[in-house]
Structures are given as C-alpha cells and as structure tokens.
Structure 1
Amino acid sequence: MAAALATATLALSLLAATVAATPLDINEDIRLDTGELLVKYGYPAERHYVTTGDGYVLGMFRVPSSPKARARGTANGHPVLVMHGLMSSSADWVIMGPDKGLAYILADAGFDVWLGNARGTTYSRNHTSINPDDNQFWQFSWHEIGYYDLPAMIDYILEQTGHSDLFYIGHSQGTTVFYVMASTRTDYNDKIRLMSSLAPIGYVSHMTSPVFQVLSLFIDELSILTQLIGLGEFLPSNEFITMAGEIMCSDGAFTQDICANIMFLIGGFNEAEMNKTMIPVIMGHDPAGCSTKQLIHYGQEIQSGHFRQYDFGMLGNLQKYGSFWPPDYDISKITAKVALHYSNNDWCAALQDVDRLYKELPNCIGRFLVSQDSFNHVDYMWAIHVKELVYDKVISLMNRYLP
C-alpha cells in the first residue's frame, strides 16, 4: 500500500503543463499569485472573499474588464464563474499568459470573469472558527464544495454585479461540484445561464487513469488512516515541490521528460500539445491542496459505479443519511442548460461515462467532441492549441445565450 500511495503521490505532485512559446518571465511567474499575474500582464484584478454557510472563507479573483475588449467596445459585462479541478486553483487559468489562459481569453471576449477557489486550496485556507492546521478543517469532500462553496460564490457574484444569473465553466472536479449543487440545491439552476463542462466528471466507473485506479484500490485503507491518524490534507503544496519543479523539470534538465511522462499517466498521452518549458511554472502553483476525502470520494465512485454522496460505511451512513448506502445525486433535477466538452484521449472523463451523463441530463444542449484525437484531461488548461480546440467553441456558445 505504501509504495502504491507513494507512486500516486509522486504522479500527482508532478503535474505538467503545455503552452506555445511566449515572452513570459518564467522564473518570476513561478512565485506570483493569480492576481499578481493578471496585473503583470496588463489586466485589472480584484481580490474578493466570501464566507460559506459552514464557515469556510474562500478567495476569488475578478477580472472585471479587458484592455482589448474596451478598445474594441465589445465588453458585454456578463459574469462568468470559472471553477478549477482537483488540486488545481484559479492560477491555472492565468499562468499561461495572455492569448493562452482562459481568464484572459474570456475577458478579451467581453465577460466579467470570476475565478473561484475551492476550500482547502491555496487561496481558500481559512475558516471563521477552525484553524487550517487542525484536522477538523479538512473534513470535507467535493460534496461540500458543491453544496456550500459554489452557492456562496454565485450569490456573492450576483450581488456584486447586479445580475440575476451567470455563466459557469468548470473543469474536471469543477464539473462534479456543479452537478452536486444543481441536483441538491435546485433553486440555483435558475441562476445559471449556461454551464460549460470541460472534461465532465460525474460517473467515473470507466476511468482508466492509472493513478486514480491505484488509489481506488486502497480507498478503504486510506479512509481508515484518515480516521486513525488525522490525515486530512492530501499532498499540500510547499516550497519543496516548487524547487523540485525548477530543478528537475526546467529546460536542459535530463529529468524533464520524466516530469512530462508522469503527467501523462494522470490524464492521457499528448506530447504534441505540451511545451515542457512551462512545467516549472505549473509546479510553482500545483498541487494547490485538497482534502484526502476528496480523493477517497472519487475512489468510492470508481468502485461503486454510482454518482452519489460520500460513503461513511454502513453504520456511518445510517447515522448520516438514515440508510445503509449513501443517496445518489438525482441528475434529473439539473435543469440548467449544460454543454459537455469531451475528448477521446481523456483517461479521467471516459466516453462511456460522459455518454451516461448526457443521457440523464434533462437540459443538455449538446456533446462537443474535441477534434484532436490525442487531446487529454489536463489539455483543457494547458494545451498549446486549447483556444482553437475548446475555448473558441465555449465562448461561441456563451455568446449565443447572452441576454
């Protein structure tokens, strides 16, 4: 078990990125946060904080306008909330720089961009009464992110902007938490103009990622360790990982290819879309933190084949839910418009699972297959041609549903 978990941990800590060559100052960008990166590249940035119903304090970044959109007079000002995936953060939408990062591209298209950060990540490690160093702080899975974090962010954005609804873009876990919210807090469906799912993760029984398959084999043991020794946070981001990225994954390092190949084990092979020069920048921002329970919850889904709430064991479930088994999320209650963007080479969002989700969503406007067969799970953030392959389609659909 220890060896398997160590392998999974190494793979998850060496996430790699890809982007076309840009005039970015890579050495500086490694340690700049989301807001600092936005300002550095000429975009206005605001920091906002919102408190959830259960006391977590979440950091958000806003890009209220774009120099390009203002110059063209094309700003529509409609808010869009962008939500990251597992162990990622808002930084992943800006580190690739203008014309590459989704935050810049959305702002240039005229949208009022809000970048969310789930509880436990780099920008959301605070609570009204619990110290983040306390194991109790980490007693959440992605269920709580969907049930508490997203509604708090959405209500705050709508209050700040005066709009009655917003666009939502989620990647990976960012889609999972949306499905949780929309199926359990159904009044929020009316607050969503269009939800764009990048690499949709609801059902995961066909997930082929070796990393998550290995983790799923030890879910019971990991759950026991969590209870016995208080293993709350999984793989916290720290200076060691950042330095390892700079030394092992930079241009000229003979270990750079190892960094790239470990990334491929997570989401699928696609070397053509990867610029290895950017790997140290990614490792300066990722992993951004998550709870062990988030991983356990996904492992439970792989094992069970269900899309359902966290499994506390029969006795725990009886106390929590009043039944021996956790309740399934009722996808039929998701009435918001949803667009599914998926790819053939995604080892996390398998075609069969996306198809099952599509059939159960009552208001899905369509499935949109990425035209590049080799496109993988993390390419939605960092691929060289992600703008042309994904973002342009996403924005085209959003423009279609503008008021």
Structure 2
Amino acid sequence: MSTLKFFFKVILLVTLAVADSVDDPLQWNSESFDVSLLKDDNPDVYLSTPELIKRHGYPVEIHKVQTDDGYILEMHRIPHGINGKGKTPRPVVFLQHGFICSSSDWVIMGPGKGFAYILADAGYDVWMGNARGNRYSRKHASLDPDKAKFWEFSFDEMGYYDLPAEIDHVLAHTGQQKLFYAGHSMGTTMFYAMASRRPEYNGKIKAMFSLAPVAFMGRLKSPIRLLAPFTTAIKWLTKMIGMNEFLPSTNFMSFVGDELCREQVVTQGICNNILFLLCGYDSNQLNETTVPVIIGHVPAGTSTRAALHFAQEINSRHFRRYDYGIIGNLRNYGSLSPPDYDLNLITAPVYLHYSDNDWMANEQDVLDLYKGLGNVKAMLPVPHLQFNHLDFLWATDVKELLYDKILSLMNGALNAKE
C-alpha cells in the first residue's frame, strides 16, 4: 500500500471517528461503516469464524442453542480434519473463548497453528462456544439487545446458563457421554462457575484444560488493576449513561486492524504495544502478520457487568459471585456479601496451564486456585519465560510450547480406563 494511500486512510479514519462521537443520529455510525470500500489483501480481518474455517478448506457447521433464561447462542463446529472423517465417533472437544472474544480465537492462526485446526486434524470433533453478548450471540427469545435488560449478566450467568446449554447440545448431537473442555481466560472462569454451582456437570467432563486460568485476581500485574479501585464509580457512571455493552464488535474496528496494525505500517508498533501493555511483553512470539487479524476480531463484545465483575474480583481478592451492593446482595443471596464459589465442588479432572509472564493470570493467583480445586491433576508452566496471556492463543510457537502437551494429555485420557 502506498504511503499516500495509507495517510489518506488515516485521515479518513480520524474523520470518521470524530463523526461517530457526534450525537446527531444522522452522522456516520461505526456499526454500519462499509469497510468493503477500503479492504486490502487480508480477507481474514473481515471474515466470520465459519468463513475463516471454510476459506482454509475445513468443514464447518453452525449450531444454535437457547439457554434456560432465553439467550440464543451460536456455536461453531469443525466435525473433522481436512483429510476426512476417519474413525467415528470422534472424541469431542469443547473450546470456550475468553473476555471480549469469540470462537475466532481458536482459528485466527490458521491451519497447523490454530488450536481448533490442530485438534480436528488430530482426530477430534471440535466445538467452539460463543458466550452471550458477543458478536455471534446477541439474540434472546424476548429481550432486545438495544435495551439494558439484555445486558444484565456477568460470567456468573455465562457459567450457570450458557455452558450447560451448549454442553448438553453437543453431547446430545454427538451421542457421547463426556467431552474434553479447554478454555482460555474467562473461558476458564465460566467453567469454574458452572462446575461449582452446577456440580452435576462435572460428570460430563472427561478432562478440563485451563489456559491462563482466571479465578483469583488479587495479584494482577496488568495496568487494568489501576481502574479496579474505581469500580463503584464506574458502575454508577455506566448505568447513568446507559453503557450496558462493553467493547462491541464493529466493522470500524476491523478497518482499524487492517489499516493501522498491518505489517510494515508505521503505526503497527502501537497495536503491538497495546497488546503487550495489557497482557505482558513477548515480542519474540508475536507474528506481526497476525496482529491486524486479531484486532479485526477482538473485541467481540460482552456486557459492562462482566467487566465490572472482574474488577470486583481484583478488589476483593476472592473468587465469588457478582456484588450487587448490600441491598442487592440481600435480595439475591440473603447475605451482605456475595458468596464465594466453592472450588472443592469442582470434581472434574483439571489441568492448569500457566506462564510466568502472564500479567492477567498471576502465578500465585493460579496457585491459590490449584489449592482449592477438588480434583486438580497438575499445574503446568509453559516452558517459555516470556509467554504472555495472549500467547496461549496466538504465539508463533504455541503448538510446540503448549498444544502438543495438551494433545498428549487428551490422548492419554482416552486410553485410560474410566
């Protein structure tokens, strides 16, 4: 892309951003921004998860499931690898994304690198969940996502309602009794919430693999911790201004990723350093050609309450349910404070995969989780000192550093007697 063209797009980007901040409803809106006029040569930035999978020649299915409280979730399935079905039935793996993310997390890196592709090619039936409120799960049987009521949820509801509905659908569809579960970041938090509040689901899990486990957050290193003390004020402010959705997915952000974060563009360093600042520095494992694709798919949206719930965890140093305040807690829990999740009730086999340089999931916080879980199998460090929170998904050598180990553990569990 020529220098002149690049600076034209930067000017246009700034102009559109300013226009989007104007209250006049006739002004440009980031949701309806037509990026097709500005696309360059990286289609992965703009494709949906199913489209990404199809582009690489893999089979893909879209499944819809409704939770007990009415949310309609979209799941994505890769039923087998690129070389065919092979033996059937294939063991099932369920993958759950993290905070403000989506099923695209598992396929952004492409075949041979993305965990979903690796699992499918290794003989597994791969299902990817999408939590309520992200770009693929913004529907409800009766609630409108443009209204505040739709967004009254945190990771607690995602664990209590979303995961059971998705797991039940997967097992019913495949005719299997158990599945493997792998989650990243909030995908682990959701699991702990489910398995402690609905312990009957432990029996449906062959093994759970926690990538960058997030439960206790009192030792968080990320600068995000600086906002945590202001949780009460932020909660009041977001309610007053009607900010119920947190960092939704927009075409505008895909454009930002493609134009400002692509390789050999002067602004890419800014994109890289934002990721490092939040999650830990590891420039050696960052594939710069992937950065615009990541920015194009993240953020994928969630509720403001989910963000506030994590902030509460940082402040309290507890792993507990959402804090509604004294009156709300009395109404919802019958106590002044929210109850802790009972980790001892989590009896599914759990493997904790952590890293020393993860600014979101501190080693000591993971150790506290390890001590509390009812059936933890191992606490496994990634053998790379600079491995950060996002490297669990998008590191250049993530297959060799992490995924090969998980595959070995899965294969071992399949060969073990019940």
The two structures have a TM-score, normalised by structure 1, of: 0.91
Residues 277-325 of structure 1: per-residue CA shift (max 9 Å, x gap) = 2211112111000111111001101000100000011111111111100
Which of 127, 133, 139 pairs up with 2:146? 133
Structure 1 contact 83–174 (Cα < 8 Å) conserved: yes
**1:395 is aligned with what amino acid?**
L
Which of 249, 253, 263 pairs up with 1:241? 253
SS in structure 1 at match of 2:227: helix
Residue 178 of structure 1 is matched in structure 2 by 191
Equivalences for residues 126-205 of structure 1 within 5 A: 126-205=139-218
1:40 maps to 2:52: no
Query: Deviation at 1:252?
Result: 2.4
RMSD: 1.3
**2:208 is aligned with what amino acid?**
M
Work out which structure has the larger RCO, using CA pairs closer than 8 Å and 6 or more positions apart in sequence.
1
Structure 1 contact 172–198 (Cα < 8 Å) conserved: yes
Q: What CA distance in whole angstroms lies between the structure 1 residues aligned with 2:229 and 2:274?
A: 19
Equivalences for residues 314-333 of structure 1 within 5 A: 314-333=326-345
Residue 334 of structure 1 is matched in structure 2 by 346
Structure 1 contact 69–109 (Cα < 8 Å) conserved: no
Q: What CA distance in whole angstroms lies between the structure 1 residues aligned with 2:255 and 2:57?
A: 28
Q: What CA distance in whole angstroms lies between the structure 1 residues aligned with 2:66 and 2:222?
A: 34
Q: What CA distance in whole angstroms lies between the structure 1 residues aligned with 2:261 and 2:242?
A: 32
SS in structure 2 at match of 1:223: helix
Q: What CA distance in whole angstroms lies between the structure 2 residues aligned with 1:180 and 1:226?
A: 25
Equivalences for residues 199-214 of structure 1 within 5 A: 199-210=212-223, 212-214=224-226
Which of 285, 288, 301 pairs up with 1:289? 301
Residue 45 of structure 2 is matched in structure 1 by 30
Give the ranges of 4+ consecutive aligned residues of structure 1 lying more than 6 Å apart after TM superposition: none
Residue 267 of structure 1 is matched in structure 2 by 279
Unmatched 5+ stretches in structure 2: 1-39
Query: Deviation at 1:69?
Result: 6.2
Q: What CA distance in whole angstroms lies between the structure 2 residues aligned with 1:281 and 1:145?
A: 26
1:354 maps to 2:366: yes
Residue 82 of structure 1 is matched in structure 2 by 95
Residues 113-134 of structure 1: per-residue CA shift (max 9 Å, x gap) = 0000000011101000011111
Structure 1 contact 90–117 (Cα < 8 Å) conserved: yes
Residue 322 of structure 2 is matched in structure 1 by 310
Q: What CA distance in whole angstroms lies between the structure 1 residues aligned with 2:393 and 2:105?
A: 7
Unmatched 5+ stretches in structure 1: 1-24
Residue 135 of structure 2 is matched in structure 1 by 122
Residues 348-379 of structure 1: per-residue CA shift (max 9 Å, x gap) = 11010111111111211111110000000000
Change (3 A) 1:248 1:67: closer
Structure 2 contact 320–340 (Cα < 8 Å) conserved: yes
Query: Deviation at 1:227?
Result: 2.8
Residue 112 of structure 1 is matched in structure 2 by 125
SS in structure 1 at match of 2:210: strand
Structure 1 contact 193–337 (Cα < 8 Å) conserved: yes
1:228 maps to 2:243: no
SS in structure 1 at match of 2:83: helix
**1:137 is aligned with what amino acid?**
F
Residues 72-104 of structure 1: per-residue CA shift (max 9 Å, x gap) = x46660111100000110011112110010110
Residue 71 of structure 2 is matched in structure 1 by 56
1:366 maps to 2:381: no
Q: What CA distance in whole angstroms lies between the structure 2 residues aligned with 1:272 and 1:93?
A: 20
Structure 2 contact 45–257 (Cα < 8 Å) conserved: no
Structure 1 contact 84–172 (Cα < 8 Å) conserved: yes
Q: What CA distance in whole angstroms lies between the structure 2 residues aligned with 1:167 and 1:197?
A: 11
Residue 21 of structure 1 is matched in structure 2 by none
Residue 27 of structure 2 is matched in structure 1 by none
SS in structure 1 at match of 2:42: helix
Structure 1 contact 141–310 (Cα < 8 Å) conserved: yes
**2:289 is aligned with what amino acid?**
T
Q: What CA distance in whole angstroms lies between the structure 2 residues aligned with 1:256 and 1:357?
A: 36
Larger radius of gyration: 2
